[in-house]
């Protein structure tokens, strides 16, 4: 063996050096504190980062799907009711979380993870509770705000005026859409 060449990596003591070398990290035998990063290391690091981003993006998208909500057995009756309702083409998160900024998106993810944690630790309520904001009902493409302005005739010929209900206070509380229209899909 000439000067400058390293001894071959053999034995149990060098398993970690062989593993690091395979990952693109070279640790010279004489200078264990001196590390040389090879291009393979950066390729592996970039690939791992890209894979993590793809997996997290997939999980984020899946957590917004009704199938994710159905994965908890306590949600089964609610899922079945939703699947047979007029709202079956609207994802759960469209109603259960208000529209808005990226902060709302982060809040959705936090809420979904907390629901999963409650389910796994069995600290969930046997009857789930959800607050539905009026902004969720009145977002573009859903229910029209014109239905709230003055007397309206519904599709079934019913005359109704939402104004006194939405402007007034009942039993010390301001009424919202779900005050009267709750449990629509259950």
pTM: 0.59
Number of CB atoms found within 10 A of residue 52's CB? 10
- Contact status, residue 65 vs residue 75, Cβ threshold 8 Å: no
Half-sphere exposure of 58 (CA within 13 A, CB side): 6
pLDDT at 59: 84
Rounded CA-CA distance 156/9 in Å is 83
pLDDT in tens, the chain (186 residues): 555 555 555 565 577 677 777 777 776 766 666 667 778 888 888 999 999 999 988 988 887 888 888 887 788 888 888 888 888 888 888 888 778 766 677 777 787 778 788 888 888 777 777 778 888 888 888 887 777 777 877 777 888 888 887 777 778 888 888 888 777 664
Rounded CA-CA distance 163/176 in Å is 11
pLDDT at 51: 97
User: What does R_g of the chain's alpha carbons equal in angstroms?
Assistant: 29
- Contact status, residue 137 vs residue 176, Cβ threshold 8 Å: no
**Ranges of each domain in the chain:** 1-62, 72-181
Beta-strand runs (E) in 29-164 = 36-37, 151-153, 159-161
């Amino acid at each position: 063996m000439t000067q400058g060449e390293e001894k071959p990596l053999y034995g149990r003591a060098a398993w970690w050096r062989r593993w690091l070398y395979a990952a693109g990290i070279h640790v010279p035998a004489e200078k264990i504190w001196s590390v040389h990063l090879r291009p393979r290391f950066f390729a592996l690091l970039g690939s791992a980062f890209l894979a993590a981003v793809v997996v997290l993006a997939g999980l984020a998208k899946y957590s917004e799907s009704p199938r994710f909500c159905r994965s908890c057995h306590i949600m089964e009756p609610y899922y079945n009711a939703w699947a047979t309702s007029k709202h079956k083409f609207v994802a759960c998160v469209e109603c259960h979380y208000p529209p808005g900024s990226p902060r709302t998106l982060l809040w959705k993810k936090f809420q979904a993870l907390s629901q999963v944690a409650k389910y796994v630790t069995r600290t969930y309520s046997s009857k789930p509770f959800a607050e539905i904001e009026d902004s969720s009902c009145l977002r573009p493409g859903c229910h029209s705000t014109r239905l709230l302005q003055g007397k309206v005739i519904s599709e079934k010929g019913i005359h109704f005026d939402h104004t006194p209900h939405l402007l007034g206070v009942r039993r010390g509380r301001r009424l919202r859409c779900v005050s009267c229209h709750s449990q629509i899909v259950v």
